[in-house]
Structures are given as structure tokens and as C-alpha cells.
Amino acid sequence: MQILEAHKPFEIQEIELTDWKQRPVKNNFFELVLVKEGKGTQCINYNDYTYEKNSMFLLPPLKCHSFTIIKPTRFVFLKFTDSFFKNANKITIDRNEWFKEASYILSNYNQLPGDIIKSEKDREYLKKLTSIILQESRDRENKSFALIQSLMISVTEILIRNIKKGSFYEIPQKNTDDRITKMLTYINENIDSPELLRIENLAEVFMMSPTYVSEFFKKQTNLSLREYIIKGKLKLVEIRLLNSDFTLTQIADDLGFTDVSHLSKTFKRYIGTSIREFKKNGEYILLKRSSCSTPRNTDLSVANQ
């Protein structure tokens, strides 16, 4: 087993395994997995997906995922860690902007098994990018931190555009109108712009009457538009609280809450705990899918990372 660990803001490992074992490193943000060789099954939230050479996945920041290895498999794990977003002094790029983009990935991809990449061209790009990151990580004498930053930004951009191409939203699949996926994408892209999420604007963008927008949304998602937007914001609040050094005032301002009091009350109402207790526990709540706590005849000692 070869484990390569570079300076924060990321960790990268290239590992060849014949069976899956728990890894001691906690996955604080999210992790891109590339399969260089091998065959087997990926399990996330007790749902299975077959993998093979060149498969690419995102692992959630949760413990309910594993791999069943059929043929010896060489994995590359590229982990985006929280320290990148907390350490402003060493970062030369726009840290806030990249955090926003990385948060989009974490809050919007559906934590189900399956290949994250929808474009074969993008798959080749990611293979090349991760190969360079690996090479730079091995070079202990000439640590190209700035270059790796740029490569990580490119990886992020490719992941975002593939998420936008896929159906990663938790919506009923039966008789689903195609417009709802576009509407959900639009809402999540503009979750921090309240003026763009007003009924009147959504009606204009999606060519509906203002009176029909909320009815259409509720019919397609089984959630009210207002509740979906609030929960979308609170997912980003969770990410900021656990993975950044933003103050509560900054978080409230960025996400359109009236003030810190409004943010705290909304958080407690929908998430069921205070912000202080949430940070103390250090575990996502709203970002977790219910299936993470409802296994299907699965040995948890095997399924947990």
C-alpha cells in the first residue's frame, strides 16, 4: 500500500487493495475516487453500484460507504479537506469563491452510488489532473503548492459541471416533469440571492404564472418551495459551521438571513439543535440522507468506513 499525503489543503492517496478496510482518516469535506484498475461494487447509504477501470465517484462526508472488491483494485483518493478553507494566510486564490463552489458540490450531489462523471472528455481531464497532482505530491524537494492549488480548482470546476449534467436531486422519479431539475439547479445556483428566488422571478425564468410556481414545485418534490429554499440554505450553514472560519454574522449576511438571531432560530427549528451544540458534535445533520441510519440487512461493521 502506498499512501501519499501532501500539505493541507488536500490529501491524496494511491492505494492498491484486495479487500476494503476502514481508513483512519476522517473525511471532513468530500473525496473524489478514481479507479485506475480493478473491479467490484461501491456501496453508499446501503445502495450498490458496480465499478470498473476509470470509474469515478464522490464519497460523502459520512460513514455509510464501502467497496466490495472483486478484482484487486488500485484506487486514487483525492480528498478536499476543511483546512483549505480555514487557512486564509497561505491561500493566494479567492478562498471564499472556491469554498462557495466546493460547497455547491457537497450540498447538491445526491449521496447515492454511481459514477459522478457524465462526460468522457471530462473523465480524461480528471485522470490527467490527478496524475499531475500525484506526481507533484511525490516531489518532496520541489513542492509546487501553487500549482496543486490551480489543479484542485480545475478539478472542482469539472465536478460542478458534471453535477449540473446529472440528476442528483432527491425528487420522486415517477412522472417527473423535466422542468423541475432545471428549477432545482437554478435555485441551488442562486441560493444566496434571495431576489432571484422570489416567486415572481421564478415565474418569469420558467415561463409560469406566479400562482402556479409553488403548486408546480410542491407537486414535483413533495416539499413547499419555501421549505426547500430554507433547507438549501441550512445545508450551506452546516458546511460553513464545520468547514470554515466564517463568523455567524458573515454566514447570516451571505445566505440572506435577517441577522444572527434569525439564523439561530431557523437553524434550531429545522435542524433540531442549537448552532453551539451542532458545532460541538461536529456531525452533519441535514446533509445526511435518512438511509444512512436505516440500513438494509447490512453488517454495519463492514459498511462503515
CATH class label, 178-290: mainly alpha
Locate the domains of the chain by residue range.
Answer: 10-165, 178-290
- Residues across the chain: 305
Question: Buried (b) or exposed (e) across 195-213, using 16+ Cβ within 10 A?
Answer: eebebebbbeebebeeeeb
Predicted TM-score (pTM) above 0.85: no
With H, G, I as helix, E, B as strand and everything else as coil, classify residue 64.
strand
Dihedral class, residue 229 (left if φ above 0, else alpha if ψ from -120 to 50, else beta): alpha
Fold of 10-165: Jelly Rolls (2.60.120)
Cα 6 to Cα 3, 16, 34, 246, distances in angstroms: 10, 19, 18, 25
> What does the pLDDT profile of the chain (305 residues) look like in tens digits?
333 333 456 788 898 999 987 665 454 677 889 999 999 998 876 778 899 999 998 876 666 678 899 999 999 988 877 665 555 444 445 666 767 777 877 777 666 667 888 889 999 999 999 999 888 888 765 566 778 878 888 888 898 888 777 655 555 555 567 888 889 889 988 988 889 999 999 999 999 999 999 999 999 888 899 999 999 999 999 988 887 888 999 999 989 899 999 999 999 999 999 999 999 888 888 877 544 444 433 332 233 33
Find the largest Cα–Cα distance for the chain: 64
Cα–Cα distances (Å) from 167 to 184, 232, 260, in that order, read 10, 16, 34
